[in-house]
């Protein structure tokens, strides 16, 4: 294949184009390009259009305008006027006029060529009210009843915009839909700025919980306490944090599963390859789980740590596997420069036994990688509990050793990216900790991290951002994509309840503004920063003391499960994210808390693939 010409979309590289399909218009005047990252069809002029747009302009393949579509367009076509098309109305009108003695006015035949597009994700979904089947039938459920089956593609058809006036109007609509409706200028004195009072960012990514599951019982926010299966008794630190720091009850994940969720969290985008393939894998269609292994899966604009490298901002990664990806031989798409990028990220990452000298294991609850004897190693987000079985490791203990060294050497990186994944839980897996014990461990780990940072000399110039990689379509009365998110800093608004809508790009843009990083792509470039969660004065400078766990951290599932749903869950490896069908996992978690015979509520509004 030979590159003949590069066409400009009047945007910088990576800023929201992602062309995935192209077609020539039926009149041979335009090149039509489906831009999946901008939800639009770009219309370029071709040399055949010289008469209309000027030959010199046509030879440059000018961008004439854009046509808005539903989310993630994947194809575009142009259909010429046909024998059965409405453009024959003019001819039929003339025939009727002759029949009636020419008394009727002749109507001009209008252009009836069509532009047709197809989009993968439509315009979103309403509430997921599908009745859940009995556990005994869980693996016989038609895919149409799962959230994967509920994602509905859309096709659009419109009169071909051959007139410049029509195309200009469509372009205005396409441009407007790129920007959030709550976009606002930076308030005076905001700490979200380069060279401001915040010098260090801690970015913590957790796993798979909805807002209502954790904070539904936080009375100041928009929650439903009946869904809070991991409420205050299990998560006292989360509740203490949102009492003192901002309670954010309108933060939404852009993802539907861990595969795209970690890309969204680390890069504010996913590649076309990941968009197209993860659903095939999760749906059990014999497609391999390779979205974390090959160059083609990388977001084109890279990760936040790549931007940090480009601009000389120091960083470290603790536990996020998607940032460095696995180094596999035979990847023909990976250039030498790409491989160099993989190695740079690898050298600045701690993935436990997967990296030399590492101690920050990325797995969930337990794994057998850290043990040479292949004895499952218990993994805790918090400091290792008293009486924990051996062998066992603690992510917080690993972080504490590193942090104390940074304090002693005055060498804290500007960006610390870390994971606390145990709130994913191991479900009902025998001899694993119960879901509530694992969420309680995760909660204590978060509290201990904030405690450690706030008692250090770095607290006065730090901000801690916490998100879930996805919500996994858990129960939430507001939206199945809503997640519990946190912001802790001396400059975080004290005791505020913030209803402003935010998402992953909002969090990413906020961190970029603090660190002086350029946006990665269109999503974070146009996102609403979290200005409403911060104040210009350090009104929250007091230290935070972690709340001791109020739920037993060593509580275990029975070695020989008796319930049908627990026995079925044995088929899946829960030490790795998303190996169990999400509908089953949701039911396991609910019944582990509410009882084996309790009724499981459906996923919340706008449920999408829960993988």
**CATH code of 289's domain:** 3.40.720.10
Q: Are residues 98 and 236 in the same domain?
A: no
Q: Are residues 156 and 218 in the same domain?
A: no
Considering the domain boundaries, does residue 183 fall inside one? no
Considering the domain boundaries, does residue 1 fall inside one? no
Q: Which residues contact 253 (CB under 8 A, 6 or more apart)?
A: 261, 264, 467, 468, 469, 470, 471, 481, 482, 483, 503, 504
Q: Are residues 151 and 223 in the same domain?
A: no
Q: Are residues 252 and 112 in the same domain?
A: no
What is the spatial distance between Cα 180 and Cα 531, in angstroms, rounded to a whole number? 14
Q: Are residues 248 and 115 in the same domain?
A: no
Considering the domain boundaries, does residue 92 fall inside one? yes
pLDDT at residue number 59: 54
Considering the domain boundaries, does residue 430 fall inside one? yes
> Which residue in this structure is represented by tokens 């002029």?
45
Report how far apart, in Å, the C-alpha atoms of 175 and of each of 36, 68, 179 are: 14, 8, 8
pLDDT tens-digit readout, 14-26: 455 788 999 999 9
pLDDT tens-digit readout, 252-286: 998 888 889 999 999 999 998 998 888 777 777 77
Closest C-alpha to 149, from 20, 35, 284: 284
DSSP-derived secondary structure letter, 534: B
Domain total in the chain: 2
Q: Are residues 155 and 210 in the same domain?
A: no
DSSP-derived secondary structure letter, 536: S
Please answer whether residues 486 and 469 qualify as being in contact, where contact means their C-beta atoms are separated by less than 8 angstroms: no
Q: Are residues 207 and 151 in the same domain?
A: no
> Which residue in this structure is represented by tokens 């160099």?
340
Q: Are residues 164 and 230 in the same domain?
A: no
What is the spatial distance between Cα 420 and Cα 256, in angstroms, rounded to a whole number? 19
Considering the domain boundaries, does residue 181 fall inside one? no
Considering the domain boundaries, does residue 543 fall inside one? yes
What is the spatial distance between Cα 247 and Cα 484, in angstroms, rounded to a whole number? 9
pLDDT at residue number 140: 37
What is the spatial distance between Cα 349 and Cα 321, in angstroms, rounded to a whole number? 9
Q: Are residues 271 and 210 in the same domain?
A: yes
Q: Are residues 340 and 243 in the same domain?
A: yes
Q: Are residues 160 and 210 in the same domain?
A: no
Considering the domain boundaries, does residue 513 fall inside one? yes
Instruction: Show which of 140, 161, 176 is a domain's final residue.
Output: 176
pLDDT tens-digit readout, 456-489: 999 999 999 999 999 875 788 998 889 999 999 9
Considering the domain boundaries, does residue 435 fall inside one? yes
Q: Are residues 24 and 143 in the same domain?
A: yes
What per-residue string of b and e applies to 369-396 under the rule 16 or more CB within 10 Å gives b?
bbeeeeebbbbbbbbbbeebeeeebbbb
Range of the domain at 34: 19-176
pLDDT at residue number 6: 77
What is the spatial distance between Cα 217 and Cα 115, in angstroms, rounded to a whole number? 50
Residues of the chain with pLDDT under 50: 13-14, 50, 53-58, 83, 89-95, 97, 106, 109, 126-148, 609-611
Please answer whether residues 112 and 159 qualify as being in contact, where contact means their C-beta atoms are separated by less than 8 angstroms: yes
pLDDT at residue number 610: 41
Cis amide bond preceding 391, omega within 30: yes
pLDDT at residue number 13: 47
């Amino acid at each position: 294949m030979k590159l003949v010409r590069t066409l400009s979309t009047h945007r910088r590289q990576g800023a929201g184009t992602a062309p995935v399909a192209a077609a020539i218009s039926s009149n041979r005047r335009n090149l039509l390009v489906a831009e999946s990252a901008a939800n639009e069809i770009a219309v370029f002029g071709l040399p055949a259009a010289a008469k209309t747009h000027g030959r010199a302009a046509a030879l440059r393949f000018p961008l004439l305008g854009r046509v808005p579509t539903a989310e993630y367009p994947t194809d575009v076509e142009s259909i010429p006027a046909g024998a059965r098309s409405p453009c024959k109305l003019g001819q039929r009108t003339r025939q009727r006029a002759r029949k009636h003695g020419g008394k009727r006015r002749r109507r001009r035949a209008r252009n009836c060529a069509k532009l047709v597009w197809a989009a993968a994700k439509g315009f979103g979904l309403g509430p997921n009210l599908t009745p859940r089947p009995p556990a005994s039938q869980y693996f016989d459920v038609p895919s149409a009843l799962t959230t994967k089956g509920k994602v509905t593609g859309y096709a659009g058809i419109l009169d071909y915009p051959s007139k410049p006036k029509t195309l200009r109007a469509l372009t205005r609509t396409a441009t407007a839909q790129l920007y959030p409706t709550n976009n606002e200028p930076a308030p005076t004195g905001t700490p979200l700025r380069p060279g401001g009072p915040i010098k260090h960012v801690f970015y913590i990514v957790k796993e798979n919980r909805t807002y209502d599951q954790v904070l539904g019982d936080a009375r100041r926010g928009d929650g439903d306490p009946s869904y809070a299966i991991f409420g205050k008794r299990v998560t006292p630190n989360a509740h203490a944090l949102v009492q003192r720091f901002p309670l954010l009850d309108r933060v939404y994940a852009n993802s539907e599963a861990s595969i795209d969720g970690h890309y969204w969290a680390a890069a504010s985008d996913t590649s076309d390859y990941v968009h197209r393939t993860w659903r095939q894998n999760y749906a059990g269609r014999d497609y391999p789980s390779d979205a974390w292994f090959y160059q083609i899966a990388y977001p084109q604009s890279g990760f936040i740590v790549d931007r940090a490298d480009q601009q000389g901002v120091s960083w470290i990664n603790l536990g996020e596997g998607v940032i460095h990806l696995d180094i596999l031989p035979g990847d023909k798409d990976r250039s030498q420069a790409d491989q160099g990028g993989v190695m740079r990220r690898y050298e600045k990452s701690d993935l436990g036994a997967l990296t030399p000298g590492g101690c920050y294991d990325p797995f969930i609850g337990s794994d057998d990688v850290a043990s040479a004897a292949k004895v499952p190693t218990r993994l805790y987000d918090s400091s290792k509990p008293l009486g924990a079985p051996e062998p066992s490791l603690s992510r917080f203990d690993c972080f504490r050793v590193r942090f104390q060294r940074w304090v002693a050497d005055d060498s804290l990186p500007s960006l610390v990216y870390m994971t606390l994944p145990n709130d994913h839980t191991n479900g009902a897996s025998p001899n694993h900790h119960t879901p509530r014990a694992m969420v309680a461990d995760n909660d204590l780990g978060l509290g201990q991290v904030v405690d450690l940072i706030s008692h250090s000399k770095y607290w006065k110039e730090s901000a801690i951002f916490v998100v879930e990689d996805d919500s996994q379509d858990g129960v939430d009365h507001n939206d199945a994509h809503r997640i519990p998110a946190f912001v802790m800093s001396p400059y975080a608004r004290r005791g505020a309840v913030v209803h402003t809508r935010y998402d992953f790009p909002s969090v990413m843009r906020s961190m970029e503004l603090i660190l002086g990083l350029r946006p990665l792509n269109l999503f974070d470039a146009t996102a609403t920063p979290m200005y409403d969660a911060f104040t210009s004065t350090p009104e929250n400078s007091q230290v935070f003391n972690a709340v001791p766990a109020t739920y037993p951290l060593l509580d275990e599932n029975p070695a020989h499960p008796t319930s049908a749903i627990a026995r079925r869950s044995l088929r899946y490896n829960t030490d790795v994210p998303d190996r169990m069908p999400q509908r089953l996992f949701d039911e396991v978690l609910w019944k582990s808390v509410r009882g084996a015979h309790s009724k499981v509520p459906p996923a919340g509004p706008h449920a999408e693939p829960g993988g």
